Amino acid sequence: MANIIADDVPAVVFRPGTSDSEIEAAALRAIKRRKQQVLSLQIGIFVAVVALWQLSSNLLWIDPFFYSSPSDIIFRLYDWAVNGTSEGSLWYNLWVTMEEALIGFFCGSITGVIVGVSLGRNRFLSDVLSVYIKAINSIPRVVLAPIFIMILGLGLPSKVALAFIMVFFVVFANAFQGVREADRNMIANARILGASDWQVTRAVIVPSAMSWIFASLHVSFGFAIIGAIVGEFVGARFGIGQLISIAKGTFDAAGMYAAIVLVMIVTLIAEFIMTHIENRLAKWRPQQSLDIQ
C-alpha cells in the first residue's frame, strides 16, 4: 500500500503496483478537491454572515441606525458610483487614497528592504543603531499623523509620509530578520568559491530573505492604506478617509460601512496581485511537496 501526502491534503491509499503517474494524478486531484472545498466554505461563510446581518436588521434584532444592513450598503455604493459623493466623484476619492497608499507603499518597501538588508549584513552598525530603531518603532504610528500634517500640510506629502512609516518598519524588520536567518553554510561555500561581499548578498542573502520580505509585503499594503486613511481622518479634502469622517459626523452608518467595504475590496485585489507577483518572482521555490510512503 502507498500513502501520498501533499501538505495537509488527506492521504490517498494505493494498491501495490500503482504507477507513479497515477499516484501524481491522484494527488493533484486531491489538492484540487481541497481547494474547491476551501473556496466553497469561504463563500458559504460569507453568504451566511451577510444573510444573518440582513435578517437581523430587517427583524430589528440589531439597530439599523447603528449597524445598517448589507442592502443599504450596496445601495450606497451604487449611489456613490453613479451619482458621486458629497465630496465629488467616488472614483476620484478612491484614487486619492490609492495614490497616497501606493507611493507610501513602494517608497516604504524599497527603503525597508535596503535598510534591512544593509543592517542585517553589518552587525556592528546594527548594534549601534538598534536602540534608535527600537525607540522610533515604539512610537504609535497613528500619533504621527498630526505631526506630519503640521509639518507637511494637508496635501499629499503628509499622507504619503504616514503610509511610508507604516510600511517601512514592517518590511525592515522582516528583511533584517531574513538576512540574519540566511544559511551560514551556503554563505561559507560562496566565500570559498571566491564570491565577493556584493555577490554573496545578491546571490545568497537576498534570495534567502525573499520569503521574509514577501511575507511583510502581503500585510504592508494594508498598513499603507491605514496610514493614508488615518491621515485623511486628521485633515484632508478628498479621500476615502474623508468620506468615512463625513459619514461619521452625519451618523450615516451605511456610508461608513460602504467606505470600509470599498477599502476591503481594494486591499483584497492588491493581495491577489501581490501573490501573483510573488509566484512569478519566486519560481525557484518548490511547489507543494508530494511524499510517497
- Residue 34, exposed/middle/buried by CB under 10 A (0-12, 13-18, 19+)? middle
Instruction: Quickly count: other Cβ atoms within 10 Å of residue 11's Cβ.
Output: 13
In which order are the strands placed within the sheet that holds 290-292?
12-14, 2-6, 290-292
Q: For the whole model, what pTM was predicted? A: 0.79
* Calpha distance 4→25 (Å, rounded): 11
Left (φ > 0), alpha (ψ -120 to 50) or beta: where does 26 sit?
alpha
Residues linked to residue 2 through DSSP beta bridges, in sequence order: 14
User: Which helix (DSSP H) or strand (DSSP E) does residue 290 occupy?
Assistant: strand 290-292
Q: C-alpha grid cell for residue 262? A: 470599498
Instruction: Quickly count: other Cβ atoms within 10 Å of residue 219's Cβ.
Output: 15
pLDDT values of the chain reduced to their tens digit, one per residue, 293 residues: 444 444 555 555 556 656 667 777 777 888 888 889 999 999 999 999 999 999 999 999 999 888 999 999 999 999 998 888 887 888 999 999 999 999 999 999 999 999 998 888 888 888 888 888 888 888 887 788 888 888 888 888 989 999 999 999 999 989 988 888 877 787 788 888 787 777 887 778 888 888 888 888 888 888 899 888 888 888 878 888 888 888 888 888 999 999 999 989 988 888 888 888 777 766 655 554 444 44
What domains sit in the chain, N to C, each tagged with a CATH number?
1-62 (no CATH), 72-282 (1.10.3720.10)
* Calpha distance 90→1 (Å, rounded): 61
* Calpha distance 280→260 (Å, rounded): 30
